């Protein structure tokens, strides 16, 4: 094998290796954030907390949309106070003012970031895509609690207020929904 051939093989190997690292970085970062709560990523719980403390904490709710998202989106209630470990239920309202079905997905985070590892969602609209028909308005629930272990954490124990933020962005309609979209000019279903 010539020096040129070896160099080409090595360069191709480096490119493939770097491509593999780039491909694996997103799932690895997502796993890292879920395990550590880094970046305000929350936990998912199977049910309510077993322990409820007398100490309370405020939870604020924030809503935003990606620039091209046509929905109106806001929290129904801006803030609630609950005991640490107590299950909370909050609602966000979404409205589709357009004349077409629009699918959306919500990304979320919690601030301060140290509290992310202690904010546990039991059920959330953010776990699945949402499709709103033209003119449809819905209230979407999120059920959660703040884990009592927060009060013993070196960094998070000084947290008195947590902000839960959602950002909705538009996604492609699911295949079943897309086939039901009607042509507004003819009134017939588009296949």
For residue 106, the model assigns a pLDDT of 93
Beta strands (DSSP E) in the chain are 43-44, 56-65, 72-75, 79-83, 88-95, 102-111, 119-124, 130-132, 137-146, 161-171
Residues 71 and 29 in one domain: no
Tell me, yes or no, whether 131 lies in a domain: yes
* pLDDT above 60 for 30: no
Tell me, yes or no, whether 54 lies in a domain: yes
* pLDDT above 60 for 143: yes
Residues 29 and 97 in one domain: no
Minimum mean pLDDT range among 40-44, 119-123, 166-170: 40-44
* pLDDT above 50 for 191: no
d(CA 109, CA 116): 8
Residues 47 and 30 in one domain: no
Cβ-Cβ contacts under 8 Å for 158 (sequence gap 6 or more): none
Tell me, yes or no, whether 84 lies in a domain: yes
| Average pLDDT score, the chain | 83
d(CA 50, CA 133): 39
Tell me, yes or no, whether 184 lies in a domain: no
Residues 20 and 64 in one domain: no
CB 143 within 8 A of CB 136: no
Residues 44 and 86 in one domain: yes
Residues 23 and 53 in one domain: no
Burial of residue 71 (CB within 10 Å: 0-12, 13-18, 19+) is buried
User: Which range marks the domain in which residue 10 is found?
Assistant: 1-36
* Cα angle 139-107-45, degrees, rounded to a multiple of 5: 75
For residue 63, the model assigns a pLDDT of 96
Residues 19 and 45 in one domain: no
Give the pLDDT band of residue 26 (cuts 50, 70, 90): very low
Strand partners, 90: 142
Tell me, yes or no, whether 9 lies in a domain: yes
Tell me, yes or no, whether 1 lies in a domain: yes
Residues 108 and 152 in one domain: yes
Residues 59 and 91 in one domain: yes
* pLDDT above 50 for 167: yes
| Total domains, the chain | 2
For residue 49, the model assigns a pLDDT of 86
Which pairing describes strands 102-111 and 79-83: parallel, antiparallel, or unpaired?
unpaired
The percent of residues in the chain predicted with pLDDT above 90, rounded, is: 58
DSSP collapsed to 3 states, 113-154: HHHHHHEEEEEEHHHCCEEECCCCEEEEEEEEEECHHHHHCC
Residues 19 and 78 in one domain: no
Residues 118 and 147 in one domain: yes
Give the pLDDT band of residue 181 (cuts 50, 70, 90): low
d(CA 23, CA 61): 33
* pLDDT above 90 for 77: yes
pTM, full prediction: 0.70
């Amino acid at each position: 094998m010539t020096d040129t051939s070896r160099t080409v093989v090595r360069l191709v190997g480096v490119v493939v290796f770097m491509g593999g690292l780039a491909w694996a970085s997103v799932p690895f970062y997502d796993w890292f954030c879920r395990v550590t709560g880094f970046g305000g990523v929350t936990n998912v719980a199977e049910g309510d907390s077993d322990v409820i403390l007398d100490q309370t904490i405020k939870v604020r709710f924030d809503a935003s949309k990606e620039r091209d998202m046509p929905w109106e989106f806001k929290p129904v209630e801006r803030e609630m106070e609950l005991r640490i470990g107590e299950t909370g239920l909050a609602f966000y309202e979404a409205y589709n003012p357009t004349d077409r079905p629009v699918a959306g997905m919500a990304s979320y985070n919690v601030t301060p970031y140290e509290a992310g590892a202690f904010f546990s969602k039991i059920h959330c609209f953010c776990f699945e895509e949402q499709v709103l028909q033209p003119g449809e308005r819905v209230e979407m629930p999120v059920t959660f609690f703040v884990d009592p272990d927060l009060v013993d954490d070196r960094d998070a124990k000084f947290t008195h207020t947590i902000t839960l933020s959602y950002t909705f962005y538009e996604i492609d309609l699911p295949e079943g929904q897309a086939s039901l979209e009607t042509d507004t000019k003819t009134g017939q279903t588009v296949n």
